[in-house]
Chains A and B, each alone.
Chain A
Amino acid sequence: AQSVTQLGSHVSVSEGALVLLRCNYSSSVPPYLFWYVQYPNQGLQLLLKYTTGATLVKGINGFEAEFKKSETSFHLTKPSAHMSDAAEYFCAVSDQGGSEKLVFGKGTKLTVNP
């Protein structure tokens, strides 16, 4: 069964600092990996996804993530945090075999301090 572990339920950074949100996955088959963001009182919005090909994936709002098969990781980064990045971030996995469901991590709440 697939699973996702997000290290750190809360991460706090200063405005302008590097954002690093960690995600490790477990999958018996090559996975599809996703990062979603949830702003307060809103639904989830897709930031980026990895399916096949280039392991460094660029998403919206300056975020990127790197798929590292050997480390079973898909960490999300942004070089310089902005106040508007404050939200909850979810890593998710689905398998290439056609399993439709997304398995989500518990989420990481990002706080950006001025």
Chain B
Amino acid sequence: QVQLVQSGSELKKPGASVKVSCEASGYSFTMYAMHWVRQAPGQGLEWMGWINTNTGNPTYAQGFTGRYVFSLDTSVRTAYLHISSLKAEDTAVYYCASDLYGHFEYWGQGTLVTVSS
């Protein structure tokens, strides 16, 4: 069955970096686009952008440029979200989600990133 398995929770200090992974199984990895979604504590869902799993080309939503990088390693069917220069307001759960026809059919379980000194 289709699964997206994300890396575990992270506790980071302000200014540090974090890399969240999302390993896909059960489908052809390069057929589905991969999106990233942020959910701050007690808040709604915020689309961060997506990466074309065929070409590796990323697209970032407004507000997620500069410190955020989407990348892939197709050999291990994994997408990555790298956030640098972490701030307290980056504290959130980050989800990966795959998309074949536009809607987000499959979701990872989420990775909690906590930024605190």
Is the A/B pair a real complex?
no
Residues of B that sit less than 8 Å from A by CB: none
Give chain A's interface residues, CB within 8 Å of chain B.
none
